[in-house]
Structure 1
Amino acid sequence: MLTASAVADRYPSNTALYADPELAEGVDYARRFRRNEWFDNDLTQRYGVQRTVILAPHGGGIETGTSELCLAIAGYHPADLATSGPVHDYWMFEGLRGSGNGDLHVTSAHCDDHVARSLAAGSLNAVGLHGCKESQAGLPDGTQAVLVGGRNTTLKSRLITRFTAAGVRAIDAANIPDLNGDDPDNIANRTLLSKGAQLEITTSLRLAMFGTNTRADRKNTTLPIFWSFTNATRAAIADVEAAQPIT
């Protein structure tokens, strides 16, 4: 069954969007990613590899704030990409227009970007970042909350626990069809384990994360709630990774 957002999409896939001659990469949209280098030439030791990828399929002006969160959760400061602590692979698609970025929305189950698919398929875990309106979640306007979905119930549970401890209202999205992220084709669920997590962040919560909510200024005006959200997500990932031995 198609979600409401999928029905409303102008493009049925990323491939179709990239093929539109009326769109220009670097003007209308951009793609950013990082795949961290792996190298193990030691015959006696095993070295840890990246086990989690962070995804923002609707970054930039499409679902504002998700690009900056993608970088921060992956371990890179959104202002200068300085690292702090463990880093994760990431991928994002961003709307760059001054207006009309909603036309660039491709629902996560239709995301066929080759890099996004490759990163997800090579990872045990994935966290997909999204923005939603309070009304989509059945919440009153102004509610600051994150709806936690996806098929990885262990990661979901850790995320809810960590958000709650950080003072961020977290709601299990299991019973909200348009936000539950349980479609096997969702890019966040295309992992080695065929399951991941999806975070739908309300508009009000995302607005509270930045002093100036513009594409140019968000990365430079992150507020404490931005970092509380980021640190809680990173802690939940660390919890799950700790139980996943290197094989």
Structure 2
Amino acid sequence: MNRRTVLASAFATAAAGTPLVTGVGASAAHAAGEDDFYRSNTDLYTQLSGREGADFGRRYKRHQMLDSDLSGTSRFHRTTVMALHGGGIEIGTSELCLGIAGYDPEDLSVWTPDGGPVHDYWMFEGLLSAGNSKLHVTSKNCDDHVALSMAASSLNVLSLHGCKEEQAGAAMSVVVGGLNTAFKTYLHEALSSAGFNTIDGSTNDDLAGINRSNPCNLTMLNMGGQLEITTDLRQSLFGDYSSRAARAGSATSDADFVRFTGACRKAIARLEARADQQIL
């Protein structure tokens, strides 16, 4: 019996609400994708047709942009925040995605304690009661048409991921990657100043976020930023990490969540102030 057959059986068990006792698919999703069950998002959507809202979900927001003045250009949104493995896959990344975009994860009301703008966001979320790691599609294989179109129409993408401490090489850390070296610098500096331990993604090929097919780099500038956040650090950012509702309800009242999301927003604001962020 091959691995795909085993995982298919395990998935059917989890979908039916029966706990997984074999442990198949319970390990952390590998960023390189050799352990992925689905070849792409399209493959997942096809195989799980009719299961959206039960086994997985997608959420996004594109803010209205309007320029009806013939004499000049109006302000436009430059940055999209993404969580490609949200929900129960890389736990906490959905809530962090919303917080960095400027929204309260609990009710999606605007939440910008720094007084800054809101940003576009996109996320894919695992909704299973257990075994969500089998829903992982490695970033370079993401072909969701909305995700790719949002990245392609953005100057910047900040993509959020979760990893284990042993993958990062240190506990309570965030690996900063992506092809935009200026963005990486700003993220390092802002997160470090906020008291978080950062690691240069260039020291870890598996977490570097440098594949040109990674949505974080499929921007108008062909480069972006990526954060791989260790499990223990993600847990520390919430007053209650125990469930989807608990994380959303405790996020914006947790000082560490506010510091982390605020640091990311500071780095985005610094990036957007650069001269190369203008479209003529």
- TM-score norm. by structure 2 comes to 0.84
Larger Rg, first or second structure (1 or 2):
2
SS at structure 2 position matched to 1:94 = strand
Instruction: Name the amino acid aligned to 1:133.
Output: K
2 CA distance for matches of 1:24 and 1:64? 20
1:126-141 mapped onto 2 (5 Å cutoff): 126-139=157-170
Which string of whole-angstrom CA distances, capped at 9 and with x for unpartnered residues, describes residues 74-124 of structure 1?
111111212123011110000001001000000000000000000000001
> 1:192 maps to what in 2?
220
**1:173: how far off?**
1.1
Counting aligned pairs with the same residue, the percent is: 52
SS at structure 1 position matched to 2:76 = coil
1 CA distance for matches of 2:71 and 2:145? 34
2 CA distance for matches of 1:73 and 1:43? 33
- Residues 106/23 of structure 1: CA separation in 2 closer, same or farther (3 Å cut): farther
1 CA distance for matches of 2:64 and 2:152? 16
1:209 matched to 2:240? The reply is no
2 CA distance for matches of 1:165 and 1:93? 30
Instruction: Name the amino acid aligned to 1:103.
Output: K
Which string of whole-angstrom CA distances, capped at 9 and with x for unpartnered residues, describes residues 34-66 of structure 1?
001111101223211111100100000000000
1:116 matched to 2:168? The reply is no
> 1:172 maps to what in 2?
200
* Structure 1: unaligned runs, 5 residues or longer: none
> 2:61 maps to what in 1?
34
> 2:250 maps to what in 1?
221
Aligned residues: 242
Mapped contact 1:151–1:181 kept (Cα < 8 A): yes
1:75 matched to 2:108? The reply is no
Aligned pair partner of 2:191 in 163, 173, 176? 163
- Residues 21/171 of structure 1: CA separation in 2 closer, same or farther (3 Å cut): closer
Mapped contact 2:31–2:138 kept (Cα < 8 A): no
Aligned pair partner of 2:86 in 59, 72, 76? 59
User: Pairwise CA RMSD of aligned residues?
Assistant: 1.2
Mapped contact 1:30–1:93 kept (Cα < 8 A): yes
**1:21: how far off?**
4.1
1:245 matched to 2:278? The reply is yes
**1:175: how far off?**
1.6
Mapped contact 1:48–1:246 kept (Cα < 8 A): no
SS at structure 2 position matched to 1:8 = coil
